[in-house]
Amino acid sequence: MALLDTVVMRGLSNQGALSTEDKAFLLELELNPRHMSASEVLWLENGQADLFCVVKEGWGYSYRNLKNGSKQILKFYLPGDIIGIRDFGFTRRLASAAMINDGVIYPFSYQQLFELFGRSSLAVGIMATAMRQQALLSERLVYLGKYAAHEQLAHFLYEIYLRLKRIGAVEDNSFLMPLTQELIGDALGMSPVHVSRTFSMLREEGLVIRDRQHVKLPDPEALARLVEFNDSYIDEFLPSAFSELLRATP
Amino acid sequence: MALLDTVVMRGLSNQGALSTEDKAFLLELELNPRHMSASEVLWLENGQADLFCVVKEGWGYSYRNLKNGSKQILKFYLPGDIIGIRDFGFTRRLASAAMINDGVIYPFSYQQLFELFGRSSLAVGIMATAMRQQALLSERLVYLGKYAAHEQLAHFLYEIYLRLKRIGAVEDNSFLMPLTQELIGDALGMSPVHVSRTFSMLREEGLVIRDRQHVKLPDPEALARLVEFNDSYIDEFLPSAFSELLRATP
DNA sequence: CATTATCCATAACCTATGTTAAGTGAGCGC
DNA sequence: GCGCTCACTTAACATAGGTTATGGATAATG
């Protein structure tokens, strides 16, 4: 029962929180264990997201390949860890995953996970929202790790731009951003002075016009190109991933 | 119906995925809106984690205060965002949260969220696992943002140490770590050369002994002090947070 | 209107970390 | 045993970004 070997589950089980039904359900969930060899890829970025795995033996990791040829590792997975719930709520993988050394994993389908949430698509929605937040966090981590200040800031502004656009708070490529440069610095891990420098840089390149809280991106697409913005993680119409599942489970 | 104003929920609703029961449940969930003024704190790190909020108006942010006096912002929250599900599954807050400007928020209790998951503490377990992953991610982000290389590496090693200890893979303060310095560099956003330099530094200080994959931490507590490791996010016996809830909802 | 506090821009200087390169030792195939 | 390759170490040099400081807007306050 691989899922039971998960740290949290083991805790729940010890406390008697898992009902007999729960345990029966877990057994039902179980697919075949899969033996993996070192460096074997579990899935690639943009691949179909339809399952997650419990790592039984060996180490794995998830990572994003970057435009400059390097990669940013998001997380190492040790035995007992669950790999791949990150993408629950998305149709495609946001990051690749691979093994480091030989190991054994137990795959579970999202479909099964979905059934687990029972009748409430509300619960699914909450879960999806949480995963979407995590996606934003991961993306920021990637930029913190490997990109230069002007790329980070461009990425940050573009993200805000997209998120505001979703809720109709962008007009004529302009929006209100009630942040001081100090706050932005605290978010991007850079000194306020350098935030200012970097804003000046972007201004000179005609990418960002800013007057206090008023921000205008004259050419959002240019910004997006600069940072190779992968908007699937923010713009994807999440629930579509569920509508299929909903159809499958009447 | 603030929760319905959430991006994901709106999507679900549009697609007719929400049943009448779901919607009734949502209505029931609703507490009173709360008017917040600029800079007002929603909660502090280590405070009790018992609710989350939907931001209706204004901007908010979550952040961690760092030992060096600065802070790392984890996320900005815009209208329609949910703030505070991050801590679902923990008893205490892992990060503080505050408003940036004036606004309105709708609080919801974790208790209600818990009921939403219905009879399945399995679902709760999955959710908690996901949140725990996010906590690790946040912690890494904090270190990427504001700490020097040797602090980052020390933190990384201590995290691995704790995680391996949980699953009984540490003996006599030693463990097997099948990572190259290049992989570690890809995780910490630093060049492999600097990983080597930094390992040398930690070795000279007697904090880390390493021979290829064999790692020994002669004095784990010293490492923990060096990085002010907040182990609540990794070591907390998560399900205890639920046992109360379970008792409350027979 | 005067005063003060914020926020921001720019400059000069300093340091941590990236880059490139060369050398060492362990493992492994031949 | 010989010559690979791979992982690591150390050194010399380059640079992005931190730090400190100063001045100038703009907004808040009396």
Interface A–B counts its CB contacts (< 8 A) at 242
Rounded CA separation A140/A183 (Å)? 15
In Å, how far are A18, A147, A235, B127 from B121, measured between CA atoms? 6, 41, 31, 10
B180's tokens = 């190259």
The answer to whether B136 contacts A7, with C-beta atoms less than 8 Å apart, is: no
Say whether residue A194 is in contact with chain B using an 8 A CB cutoff.
Answer: no
pLDDT digits (tens, 9 = 90+) for A145-164: 889 999 999 999 999 999 99
The integer distance in angstroms from the CA atom of B250 to the C1' atom of D15 is 63
Query: Would the pLDDT of B90 be above 90?
Result: no
The answer to whether B120 contacts A116, with C-beta atoms less than 8 Å apart, is: yes
% of chain A exceeding 70 in pLDDT:
79
The integer distance in angstroms from the CA atom of A181 to the C1' atom of C3 is 25
pLDDT reported for residue A249: 46
Residue B197 CA to its chain's centroid (Å):
30
More reliable by pLDDT, A9 or B142? B142
pTM for this entry: 0.89
pLDDT digits (tens, 9 = 90+) for A110-122: 887 777 776 566 7
Say whether residue A32 is in contact with chain B using an 8 A CB cutoff.
Answer: no
Assess contact for A45 and A94: CB atoms under 8 A. Answer: yes
pLDDT digits (tens, 9 = 90+) for A30-88: 667 899 999 999 999 999 999 999 898 999 999 999 888 889 999 999 998 889 988 88
Rounded CA separation A133/B134 (Å)? 9
Say whether residue B148 is in contact with chain A using an 8 A CB cutoff.
Answer: no
To the nearest whole Å, the CA of A121 is away from the closest chain B CA by: 6
Domains in chain B (CATH in brackets) are 7-248 (2.60.120.10)
Rounded CA separation A113/A51 (Å)? 9
- What are the residues whose beta carbons fall under 8 Å from the beta carbon of A24, sequence distance 6 or more? none
Q: Highest mean pLDDT: which of A222-236, B195-209, B219-233?
A: B195-209
Query: Would the pLDDT of A173 be above 50?
Result: yes
Helices (H), B57-191: 110-116, 121-146, 149-166, 181-188
Please compute the mean of the pLDDT values over residues A83-94 and round it to a whole number.
Answer: 88
Which nucleotide has the shortest C1'-to-CA distance from A182? C7
Band (pLDDT 50/70/90 cuts) for residue B4 is: low
Partners of B164 on chain A (C-beta within 8 Å) are 78
Say whether residue B40 is in contact with chain A using an 8 A CB cutoff.
Answer: no
Residue A99: Cβ within 10 Å count: 24
**Spatial CA neighbour of A94 closest among A142, A53, A37:** A142
The answer to whether B186 contacts A70, with C-beta atoms less than 8 Å apart, is: yes
**Mean pLDDT computed over every residue of chain B:** 84
DSSP letter assigned to residue B87: G
Assess contact for A46 and A93: CB atoms under 8 A. Answer: yes
Rounded CA separation A66/A72 (Å)? 7
Partners of A120 on chain B (C-beta within 8 Å) are 22, 25, 116-118
Give helix B192-204 / helix B181-188 axis angle, nearest 10°. 100
Using CB atoms, pick whichever of A9, A121, A166 lies closest to residue B12. A121
pLDDT reported for residue B5: 67
Best of A4, A6, A8, A68 to substitute, by most chain B Cβ atoms within 10 angstroms, is A8
